[in-house]
Amino acid sequence: MTRRRRLPLLLAAVSLAAGACVPAAPPIDPDAGALDALEPLDLDELQAAAVLRAAREFTVRIRALGCEQLGTGSGFVLNDELIVTNRHVVGEPRDVEISTWDGRTFDARVDGIARDADLAVIRVVGLDLPVATVRDTPAVIGEPVAVIGYPGGGGSTITTGVVLGRTDGPILGEQVPAIRVDAQVLPGNSGGPLIDAEGQVIGVIFALTGPDGDGLAVPVDVLVDRLERQGFTPPSGC
Amino acid sequence: MVTVLTVLVLVGTTIAGVAIGWQQRTIAAGWRDRAVVLEQQRDDAVGRSEALSGQLGELSTLVQLSETDLAELEERLAELAGEKAQAEDRAVLSAEELRRLATLVDSAVRQLNACADDLLALQSDTVDAYNSVARGVPVDVAPLNDRLTANTARCTSARQAGAEAVALASRLR
């Protein structure tokens, strides 16, 4: 084919190619989203509030009329009927009552006390409260904790702090280890739960010590051990 | 011949180009129309999104307010529960004090009765001893003195029990 013959075909091909081009679709506006105007939720704060709310609900106030005097303390719900507290709160019980965070009062019976640890379990029928979750790993130094209880026989309080350490030897006459925390602990907090950031129980508050009033708690593994090997005995009478 | 063919091809090509150009303008017009519609739809969607965002924001505010209200109500409930528990403490203490008062009164009454019985017996025995002495019969007064001492202690104890009961009753008034 000569050059003169190819030219018309070339022109035709160019025309067809040019005619075959179609306009591009309009671009999408990237600023169309209006959801940026929403304030981000503070999930950490909501989570912390939910944890503390639940912890307060499974923490109870204990009124124990002993042989000589009336005493008050704290405790927490372990299951539908059992509440954990301190031996020194309900050691010589004549009459024991439980008050819940929402104002209900129940008669209770001391099921058993641990002779080698400041722990006791009491039984309540008809208790309809959230149940505490017991952590199966030990407390870690520096981890944030909260102490829930009824200090001074008053209303429910929550104090926060961190784990300072663990005492392995006997302390304050108790033969078991203790967790030391810097959260404020007052008389009446005895028997209340020491919880971690997830709301799981890691200890049972039983004393305060030292010049700064550090709190002491029975590690929860001691409680679990006594429960598993039935290390609780009936309390002595008056 | 070649020239004629070339002219025919060029004419045909031109006609085809014009036809294709017209077709492309038609397609472009269709795209423009479609773009306008899509833009309107997008604007509508953005408007709805903004409206929903506003509603969501209002709901979020309401939820936060409800959460705050709930927290305040729970706090108030906890305060009232604390006051109720403390009132129950006082009731238990009062009941315990009443029980102690009853025990003290019972003890004081028993001791006072014993004191009175002993005193009456001692008085009778003292009169007998006095009459014996008057008749010239010798009397050993040591047992009487011992009984007097014991009775005095018993009566003192009874008085103390009575005083404790009175004091406790005064506190309970």
B89 touches A72 (CB < 8 A): yes
**Can you give the residue ranges of every domain in chain B?**
49-172
Mean pLDDT of A218-223: 94
> What pLDDT is attached to residue A34?
46
> What pLDDT is attached to residue B26?
87
Which residues 156-185 of A are in CB contact (within 8 Å) with B?
A: 156
**Given a cut of 90, is residue B68 above it in pLDDT?**
no
**Given a cut of 50, is residue B69 above it in pLDDT?**
yes
Which residues 11-50 of B are in CB contact (within 8 Å) with A?
A: 12-13, 16-17, 20-21, 23-24, 27-28, 31, 35, 38-39, 42, 45-46, 49-50
Which residues 1-60 of A are in CB contact (within 8 Å) with B?
A: 4-5, 7-9, 11-12, 15-16, 18-23, 25-26, 28-29, 32-35, 37-39, 41, 49, 53, 56
**Given a cut of 90, is residue A96 above it in pLDDT?**
yes
Q: How confident is the model at residue B67 (pLDDT cuts 50, 70, 90)?
A: confident
Q: How confident is the model at residue A9 (pLDDT cuts 50, 70, 90)?
A: low
Question: Which residues, 6+ apart, have CB-to-CB distance to A176 below 8 Å?
Answer: A116, A117, A170, A218, A219, A222
* pLDDT digits 0-9 by tens, A117-138: 999 999 999 988 999 999 999 9
Check residues A184 and A5 and name the one with the higher pLDDT. A184
Half-sphere exposure in the Cβ direction for A201 (13 Å, CA) = 32
Interchain CB distance below 8 Å, B53 and A22: no
* Cα–Cα distance for residue pair B104/B114, rounded to 1 Å: 15
A189 touches A71 (CB < 8 A): no
> What pLDDT is attached to residue B87?
94
**Closest Cα to residue A53, out of A195, A181, A152?**
A195
Chain B nearest CA to A89, separation (Å): 15
**Can you give the residue ranges of every domain in chain A?**
45-228
ipTM of the predicted structure?
Answer: 0.73
**Given a cut of 70, is residue B112 above it in pLDDT?**
yes
**Given a cut of 80, is residue A53 above it in pLDDT?**
yes
- The two structure tokens encoding residue A129: 């409260």
Mean pLDDT of A41-45: 70
A39 touches A77 (CB < 8 A): no
DSSP letter assigned to residue A202: E
Statement: A45-228 belongs to CATH 2.40.10.120 = yes
Q: How confident is the model at residue A91 (pLDDT cuts 50, 70, 90)?
A: confident
* pLDDT digits 0-9 by tens, A159-174: 999 999 998 877 777 7
Looking at the DSSP assignment, which residues form a beta bridge with residue A146? A160, A195
